[in-house]
Every structure is written in C-alpha cells, then in structure tokens.
C-alpha cells in the first residue's frame, strides 16, 4: 500500500506500535504491582483483551490492497480506483501495469514454497531466514521480556526494576519514531550498520561493568546501577533505530509477488521460533554466563553488522515490483 518514497517510514509504524504496546504493558505492570493482596497480576493479564478487541474490530474497516484486488480477478477498475485513492493522484497507469504484470507471473506459481527454493530466489530465501534470526540474537527480546529480572539481578528493588522497564519502553518508542523520520533518507544499510555499532559498544560496556562490579552474588552500587541503566537505554535506542523496525521492513519489501506469501511466512516463522528459543533459554543462560551474556550477544552483533555491509543491498525508494534489479546489480548475488 505504501508509496516507495515513504515505504520505510510507514512500515516502521509497525515497530512503533509494538514499542507503544510494550510501554503500555510495562506501565500496567508497574501500576498493578502496587495493588495490595497480590492479585494485581490478574488485572495485568486481563488487559490483553483490549488490544485483541481493537485488532478484531479494526479488521472490519481495513480496505483491500490493489494487489489483492488484481490477484482475485476483481474488476480492474476497482484496483485502479483503490490505487488512485491511496496515491492521491489519478495518474497511476504505470504502477497499475507493473502490478498486473507481477500478478500474471504470480498466477503461474502453484507451489510458492517450492518455488522459493529455486536458485534465482536464493538471495530472498537467505534474507527471509537470516534477518529475523539476527534480529533475535541482538538480545533485545531479552531486555524486553526480562529487564525487571536483569535490574533485580543488579540489586535494584522490584518496584524500581519495573520502573526501569518503563524507561526502556519510552526509549524504544522514541527511537523507533526517529527511525521513521530518517529511514527513507539515509537508507536501510546505514541505519543497520550504525545501529550495529551502537549495540556492540553498549553490550561490551554493560558486560564489562557487570563483570567488574557485580560479582557472583548480585548487587552493585547505586552509581554503577544508574550507569548500567543508561547504557541499556543506549542499547535499546540503537535497536529501536535499526534492527527493531528494519528487521520487519526489509523482508516486507524484497519478495516478488509470486513468492511473497512464502517468503513472509518463512520470515515470521523464523522470528517467532527464535523468540521462543531465546525466551525459554535466557534465564538458564544468565545463570551460567552471568555478565558474559552481553558479550555473547555482542559477538552476534559483530557477525550481523559485517553481513549487512557485505551482502545486503540498499532497497530504499525501489518499487517492490522492480526489486529484482537490486539483486542483479549486487556484487555477490548477481
């Protein structure tokens, strides 16, 4: 639906909404923790029904996309009208022609999951697997899920640790908003590389401080706890500007129509699989690695930043229907 020149900003609205959701959840948890009697968690859990209701009701008002209208053999005039509506101009014939050509190609594909295994789609398949994997091994979900646990490990009280989680939620939301404003100007690669450097530096500094001052029994001085909290905010800001939103943006724009359903399905499946793996193993890993957990994720940040520099082409301002030329012109994928 998004025009190419604004696609990054609009798509990053997805991650901004995720950040707002995480912040809202942290605020609710912080408030319900103060309810006496120990039953506040029931309110926290029940509040999940609010966004679920919004999603369900909102889906009733979603319009069809021009691509969908064309692929379902609807009257071409309906697709033209929708395209004119979302582009704000009547001059849409060139884009409509591109969409119809892509649709004709996609209709010849009966097994998209088998098709995506072909050599000519190798770059897209690699990105469908490696980008969501890298997004998870930044370690951000560890911070998102377990930041109260991490802060309490440093000796910060439960209420203060929940407030620290709220603070990281504010930083995530703000940095994602900044990413929306600059992603279509600076491009995807620049944000991923700069964000990777920011993640690496903050990971190493946090790990070094905790290794030096935390010890085996937990607890650091108030000054060091504040410093670590600031560094975690720097880390979260780096993720919010780069791998957070771009981990979803790039896979959404690299697949041609004929394999788009398969490619995005693989992306989401890989992302959720590694979210599950990291969530289930983190506490045990924290107990064994202690402060070394930050060096572990820092090592992955080095790998993913080098990968982006070498193998990920720039995709800003390129219409999705013309994305194949990006791969044909790349030094490695061509």
**Are 244 and 108 within 8 A, CB to CB?**
no
Counting every residue written for the chain, the total comes to 334
Could you tell me the CA-to-CA distances from 113 to 110, 156, 264 in Å, in that order? 9, 49, 11
- pLDDT at position 219 is 61
216 pLDDT tier (thresholds 50, 70, 90):
low
Give pLDDT, residue 292: 86
Given this model, what pLDDT does residue 125 score? 96
Is domain 4-62+109-328 in CATH 1.20.1250.20, yes or no? yes
Which of 192, 239, 221 has the alpha carbon at shortest distance from 19? 239
Predicted local confidence at residue 199, as pLDDT: 95
Token pair for 12: 């990053």
b/e per residue, 309-334, with b = 16+ CB within 10 A? eeebbebbebebbebbebbeeeeebe
- Phi-psi group of 63: left, alpha or beta (phi > 0 → left; psi -120 to 50 → alpha; rest → beta): beta
Q: Which of 225-234, 249-258, 301-310 has the highest mean pLDDT?
A: 301-310
- Write 273-281 long-range contacts (CB < 8 A, 24+): 274/132, 274/133, 274/136, 274/137, 275/136, 275/141, 277/136, 278/136, 278/137, 278/139, 278/141, 278/142, 279/141, 279/145
Report the distance separating Cα 16 and Cα 137, nearest Å: 20
pTM > 0.85: yes or no: no
Please state, rounded to an integer, the average pLDDT across all residues of the chain. 87
Identify the pLDDT of residue 116.
Answer: 93
Query: Alpha carbon of 199 to those of 175, 203, 294: distances in Å?
Result: 13, 6, 10
Identify the pLDDT of residue 107: 76
**Which pLDDT belongs to residue 291?**
80
Residue 26 has what pLDDT? 81
Tell me how far apart the alpha carbons of residues 146 and 152 are, in angstroms, rounded to a whole number: 10
């Amino acid at each position: 639906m998004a025009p190419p020149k604004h696609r990054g900003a609009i798509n990053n609205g997805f991650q901004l909404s995720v950040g707002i959701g995480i912040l809202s959840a942290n605020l609710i948890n912080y408030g319900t923790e103060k309810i006496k009697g120990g039953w506040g968690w029931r309110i926290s859990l029940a509040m999940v029904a609010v966004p679920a209701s919004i999603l369900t009701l909102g889906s009733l008002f979603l319009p069809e996309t021009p691509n969908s209208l064309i692929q379902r053999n609807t009257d071409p005039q309906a697709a033209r009208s929708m395209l004119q509506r979302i582009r704000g101009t009547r001059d849409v014939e060139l884009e409509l022609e591109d969409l119809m050509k892509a649709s004709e190609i996609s209709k010849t594909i009966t097994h998209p999951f088998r098709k995506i295994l072909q050599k000519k789609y190798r770059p897209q398949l690699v990105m469908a697997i490696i980008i969501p994997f890298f997004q998870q091994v930044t370690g951000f979900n560890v911070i998102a899920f377990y930041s109260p646990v991490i802060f309490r490990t440093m000796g910060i009280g439960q209420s203060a640790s929940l407030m620290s989680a709220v603070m990281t939620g504010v930083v995530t939301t703000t940095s994602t908003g900044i990413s929306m404003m600059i992603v279509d100007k600076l491009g995807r690669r620049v944000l991923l590389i700069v964000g990777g450097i920011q993640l690496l530096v903050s990971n190493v500094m946090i790990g070094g401080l905790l290794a030096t001052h935390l010890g085996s029994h937990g607890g650091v001085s108030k000054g060091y706890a504040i410093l670590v909290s600031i560094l975690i905010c720097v880390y979260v800001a780096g993720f919010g500007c780069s791998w957070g939103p771009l981990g979803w943006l790039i896979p959404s724009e690299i697949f041609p129509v004929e394999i788009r359903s398969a490619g995005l399905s693989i992306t989401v499946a890989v992302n959720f699989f590694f979210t599950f793996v990291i969530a289930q193993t983190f506490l045990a890993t924290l107990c064994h690695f202690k402060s070394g957990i930050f060096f572990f994720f820092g090592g992955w940040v080095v790998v993913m930043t080098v990968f982006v520099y070498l193998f990920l082409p720039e995709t800003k301002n390129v219409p999705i229907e013309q994305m194949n030329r990006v791969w044909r012109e790349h030094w490695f994928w061509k």
